[in-house]
């Protein structure tokens, strides 16, 4: 089945130690998104790629970076994780960007990041 896969499901890192979360998709969608979701809160969009075009949300900290080497893969890099970065990180894809069509996003299972 076509899907969005996030690895790992659980990630533990040390305060200040860089960490990379990965996302892959078999849907061949143009858009890939990264969200941060803290407990009992709404997913907060960090950034998204439309093909190779990177779109950063204005309030996304510089500590968060992303790479999309090809259509299938997208990475979230946290350069110096702080305790406040502990959260669930959701990857999603869609065929077209927001506001253009009614095509929904397809989400991965998420990676739960813990900071020691």
Partner 1 sequence: AQTVTQSQPEMSVQEAETVTLSCTYDTSESDYYLFWYKQPPSRQMILVIRQEAYKQQNATENRFSVNFQKAAKSFSLKISDSQLGDAAMYFCALNDMRFGAGTRLTVKP
Contact footprint for partner 1 (CB under 8 A):
4, 33, 40-45, 48, 90, 92, 94, 98-99, 101-102, 104-105, 107-110
What's the closest the beta carbon of residue 18 comes to partner 1, in angstroms? Answer: 26
Those residues whose C-beta lies under 8 Å from the C-beta of residue 102, and which sit 6 or more positions away, are none
What's the closest the beta carbon of residue 7 comes to partner 1, in angstroms? Answer: 14
8 Å CB contact between 111 and 12: no
8 Å CB contact between 94 and 104: yes
What's the closest the beta carbon of residue 98 comes to partner 1, in angstroms? Answer: 4
Our CA angle for 23, 17, 56, nearest 5°, is: 50
Residue with Cβ nearer partner 1 (80 or 101)? 101
């Amino acid at each position: 089945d076509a899907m969005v896969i996030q690895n790992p499901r659980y990630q533990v890192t040390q305060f200040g130690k860089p960490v990379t979360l990965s996302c892959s998709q078999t849907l061949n969608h143009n858009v890939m998104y990264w969200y941060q979701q803290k407990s009992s809160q709404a997913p907060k969009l960090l950034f998204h790629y439309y093909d190779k075009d990177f779109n950063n949300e204005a309030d996304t900290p510089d500590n968060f970076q992303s790479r999309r080497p090809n259509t299938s893969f997208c990475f979230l890099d946290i350069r110096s994780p702080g305790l406040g970065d502990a959260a669930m990180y959701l990857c999603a894809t869609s065929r077209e960007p927001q506001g253009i069509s009614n095509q929904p996003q397809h989400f991965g299972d998420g990676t739960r990041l813990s900071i020691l």
